[in-house]
Amino acid sequence: MYKTEIATHRALSSPNLGPPGTRAAVHCAQCGERLSRKIPATESRERLVCSSCGYISYENPKILVACLVTFGERLLLCRRALAPGYGLWAPPGGFLENGETPQEGAAREVWEETGVRLVGTPLVFRGLTCLMELNEVYANFSASVSCGRCQPGAEALDAAFFAPDELPWAELAYPTLADDLRQFFHERVAHRSRKQSLGR
Ligand SMILES: [Zn+2]
């Protein structure tokens, strides 16, 4: 089992997918009136409040999911077909949808971006990554598959399984990814040698 931890990054260029979770709604979702920033009587911090009906539009972090999928020693990456990071490599991942468990969301992103199915494959929780400036929280998983076939989806230019020494280290989509992947490979080696020393 891999170590579970929370990584926090305060300064980071735009990582994996989609717009930052900081774009505020301008109009009230209930009555269409313009929202303004103020501290509601019942709260202690500034919110977007509708002056007409009193509706409060809460701004909270977005939840994203990502999965490190291995086939033997090889790790699955996809080459992004979207900005930010167009043309760069990253593990499959993206925004969690309503009605999905994080595991389901991670498996869906893997399927959509790389054509790899994780049906019946256990997803191991690796920890959370908090991107403070983007108001994003990533739930990170890992999974291993018994077939090395993959095919890029609409949001990917390419998808491939890489051995550690073949990985496009200089073309990764965001700065902290190289450290995370090195840590992941390191943990796998440590895990394997521990199992061997126990004779299992
Ligand atoms: Zn309103």
- pLDDT for 19 equals 40
User: What are the C-alpha distances in Å from 79 to residues 50, 94, 199?
Assistant: 42, 14, 39
Rounded Cα gap, residues 20 and 16, in angstroms: 10
Which amino acid is present at 130?
A: C
Q: Where does the chain hold its CATH 2.20.70.10 domain(s)?
A: 24-59
Percentage of the chain lying above the pLDDT 90 cut: 72
Indicate whether 115 pLDDT > 70: yes
| Distance from Cα 51 to the centre of ligand 1, integer Å | 7
| Distance from Cα 27 to the centre of ligand 1, integer Å | 8
For 24-59, give the CATH class. Answer: mainly beta
Other C-beta atoms lying within 10 Å of the C-beta of residue 62: 18
| Distance from Cα 40 to the centre of ligand 1, integer Å | 14
Q: What angle do CA 78, 79, 81 make, to 5 degrees?
A: 120
Q: Model confidence over 6-60: pLDDT tens digits?
A: 666 553 333 333 344 445 679 999 999 999 999 998 999 999 999 999 999 999 9
Third-level CATH fold of 61-199: Nucleoside Triphosphate Pyrophosphohydrolase (3.90.79)
- pLDDT for 101 equals 97
Token representation of residue 37: 């920033």
- The mean per-residue pLDDT over the stretch 141-155 comes to 94
CB contact at 8 A, 136 and 13: no
Main-chain dihedrals φ then ψ at residue 190, nearest 5 degrees: -65, -40
Q: Which of 57, 18, 49 is nearest to 136 (CA)?
A: 18
Classify 115 in phi/psi space as left (phi over 0), alpha (psi -120 to 50) or beta: left
| Distance from Cα 53 to the centre of ligand 1, integer Å | 4
- The mean per-residue pLDDT over the stretch 59-72 comes to 96
Q: How high is the mean pLDDT of the chain?
A: 88
Rounded Cα gap, residues 28 and 145, in angstroms: 46
- By the 10 Å C-beta count (0-12 exposed, 13-18 middle, 19+ buried), 89 is classed as buried
The residue among 189 and 7 whose pLDDT is bigger is: 189
| Distance from Cα 96 to the centre of ligand 1, integer Å | 27
CB contact at 8 A, 145 and 70: yes
Q: Where does the chain hold its CATH 3.90.79.10 domain(s)?
A: 61-199
- pLDDT for 12 equals 37
Rounded Cα gap, residues 15 and 136, in angstroms: 10
| Distance from Cα 45 to the centre of ligand 1, integer Å | 19
Indicate whether 147 pLDDT > 90: yes
Which amino acid is present at 162?
A: F
| Distance from Cα 48 to the centre of ligand 1, integer Å | 11
Q: Rounded to two decimals, what is the model's pTM?
A: 0.82
| Distance from Cα 34 to the centre of ligand 1, integer Å | 8
Rounded Cα gap, residues 171 and 88, in angstroms: 5
Indicate whether 64 pLDDT > 50: yes
Q: Model confidence over 120-140: pLDDT tens digits?
A: 899 999 999 998 888 999 999
